[in-house]
Amino acid sequence: MASAGTTGGHGPSLISGADERAAEKRAAAIAAAELLEDGMRVGLGSGTTVAHLLPAIAERNLSGLRCVATSPGTEHAARELGLPLEPLEEIGDELDIAIDGADQIAPDGWIIKGGGGAQTREKIVAEAARRFVVIVSADKPVGGLSPPIPLELLAFGHTRTLRLLAPARLREAHITPDGGLLADYLGPIGDPAALTARFDAVPGLVGHGLFRPEMVSLMLIAGPDGVQRRAGAKPAS
């Protein structure tokens, strides 16, 4: 969607929707990078919003950061920027903060993630973090969640697993770094808690992109008027 807008009071200019979204992602990412302190153990999500986060963290020149990447893309970009990476196992299984993007945020705080297929690792890292911060552009908050919901399946028996998750479709030629197959659930969502319970009962499903409101500490939602902070339902620890 292209829209006419003004920038900083310098008169009208044409800004494409894509440029606007990118600027919002960057603004949310910069706001999230401000939350970091020296010595923190940090989970790094994946996606185009996180691509803005990594340089924003690097620019802060914090000392003693210990970071965990959730995807090969994030790992590569973080290394290029000199951010120190370690496996989650070596960091001691607990992170001070994790920061990640999202595909949809519902008014009640449920989130869909995994557009990039990294939802299983992202959920492990988000759960391990005392504080999980979601950074998004203004198009991500929605009136109600809608499919697709990204899924990761074990390769073994995946046709049976897909049948149990119907309606669902395999993303052809998409294999995760952990050897899983990517698919999307395409059916109605209804009550996300009930759907989560249905997913959890499917043995071959490794992970899915529905994130409970209780996983999220803070949402930083960037729009034309700046970055709005919305509290999540995760209790402070």
Q: What residues pair up with 168 in beta bridges, in sequence order?
A: 185
Is residue 95 within 8 Å of 43, Cβ to Cβ?
yes
> From CA 63, how far away is CA 148, in angstroms rounded?
40
Nearer Cβ to ligand 5RP, position 24 or 96? 24
User: Could you tell me what percentage of the chain is helix, strand and coil, using 3-state DSSP and rounding each to the nearest 5?
Assistant: 30, 30, 40
User: Shortest approach of ligand 5RP to residue 4 CB, angstroms?
Assistant: 24
Amino acid (one-letter) located at 81: L
**Smaller CB separation from ligand 5RP, 12 or 78:** 78
- By residue count, the chain amounts to 237
Residue 8 beta carbon to ligand 5RP: minimum distance, rounded to whole angstroms: 25
Q: Known catalytic residues? A: 122
Question: By the criterion CB under 6 A, which residues form the site for ligand 5RP?
Answer: 45-49, 100-103, 113-119, 122
**Gap between the Cα atoms of 227 and 21, Å rounded:** 13
Count of C-beta atoms within a 10 Å radius of residue 218: 19
Residue (21 or 41) nearer to ligand 5RP, CB: 21
- Residue 209 beta carbon to ligand 5RP: minimum distance, rounded to whole angstroms: 7
Closest CB to ligand 5RP among residues 20, 103: 103
Beta carbons of 18 and 25 less than 8 angstroms apart: no
Report the DSSP pairing between strands 218-223 and 129-137: parallel
Q: How far apart are CA 44 and CA 51, in angstroms?
A: 10
Residue 112 has, within 13 A of its CA and on its CB side, a CA count of 23
* CB 48 to ligand 5RP: min, Å: 3
CA 75 to chain centre: 15
In this complex, which beta carbon is closest to ligand 5RP, that of residue 37 or of residue 147?
147
Supply the minimum distance, in Å, between the C-beta of residue 177 and ligand 5RP. 12
